[in-house]
Amino acid sequence: MYDKVIQYGMNTVIVHVRALGDAMYPSNYYPWATFFSSDRSNRGYDPLEIMVQLAHTKKLQFEAWINPYRLSRDSKSTASFKATPYHARFLPFTIEYKAPGGQTCLALDPARQETIDLIVNGVREIVSTYDVDGIHFDDYFYVSGMADQVDVASRKTNVNALISQVYQTIKSINPNCTFGISPAGNPDNARTQGADIDTWLSTQGFIDYIMPQIYWTDIYMTNGTAKHMFTDRCKAWTALNKQDLPIYVGLALYQVGTNSKTDLGWASSDNNLAYQYITAKQLGCDGYALFRYQWLEKEIAAKELNHLLYYVSN
């Protein structure tokens, strides 16, 4: 997998080490991830240690990707987490809710100090134990159904309390370890979810970089008119960046070649990623990330990736 990443000219891997309320490494705070061990038992080795060491051997930067609040994402993973002793331990500061599709989900309550302490301890454990180059949070803050009664201002306050403490914790252990966040690509949606992007991009002490998920092309149909959705969103994000922090734009590798009634660019061109890279660079962005690895190996993505590689290399 790392060789494939290098083949396409990239220098960093962002690896999901805690996707739910569990861990892809031996943790004092979370159970083993079912992605690694179906019965959550310790298999006798540390996959995170191996992944970090191998990445550095191949001259790749390694960032540990965490979903801070999410404990489960559907009814099946909820039942799995409830079967662990950690459910009872976390229960006083856990929210159980119905996702829009009707699935039962669990999340840590962002308003509780116990939640902040748990997440910060988990980050401290990773940064203290492993030679990671960064900690990465994605856009999972207040999602639909989780705590709909909480207003946007309170959401931002709660999330900011976590983000600032995570940042301080990382820097106290390893000042060279970066902390970045990948919020929803629509700035208004990001704010609604509790991501205080205006503060993060104008005030020191929160993040080292931002990676907005700008997952649209410039042929996005709205009321019969094509909107330059990608370019417009890039402009919106760069305008917010009062600190001149690095912006690495998240690109939708998983969308290439798909047919959409609204986002027509993916099916009408095999040059979307290259165009988006060039556009983002011209607007002042510092790099890009592709979501996600699985599509690096798909034939449908090869032309897009080769065009992107050509422009990145030249």
Cα atoms in the Cβ-side hemisphere of radius 13 Å centred on 240: 24
- Measured between alpha carbons, how far is 201 from 247 in angstroms, rounded to an integer? 10
Of the candidates 197, 132, 128, 206, the one whose C-alpha atom is nearest the C-alpha of residue 166 is 206
Task: Give me the mean pLDDT over the 228-233 stretch.
Answer: 98
For residue 75, what pLDDT is reported?
98
Query: Contact 52/17 with Cβ under 8 angstroms?
Result: no
- Measured between alpha carbons, how far is 306 from 273 in angstroms, rounded to an integer? 10
Would you call 111 helix, strand, or coil by DSSP?
coil
Predicted confidence (pLDDT) at residue 193 exceeds the cutoff of 90:
yes
Task: Give me the mean pLDDT over the 94-98 stretch.
Answer: 98
The full set of domains in the chain, from first to last, is 2-73+110-313 (3.20.20.80)
pLDDT, one tens digit per residue, over 266-285 is 999 999 999 999 999 999 99
For residue 194, what pLDDT is reported?
98
Task: Give me the mean pLDDT over the 154-170 stretch.
Answer: 98
Query: Contact 108/118 with Cβ under 8 angstroms?
Result: yes
Give burial (CB, 10 Å; 0-12/13-18/19+) of 83: exposed
pLDDT, one tens digit per residue, over 32-82 is 999 999 999 999 999 999 999 999 999 999 999 999 999 999 999 999 999
Task: Give me the mean pLDDT over the 231-257 stretch.
Answer: 98
Q: How confident is the model at residue 249 (pLDDT cuts 50, 70, 90)?
A: very high
Could you give the percent of the chain with pLDDT greater than 90?
Answer: 100
Predicted confidence (pLDDT) at residue 242 exceeds the cutoff of 90:
yes
pLDDT, one tens digit per residue, over 205-215 is 999 999 999 99
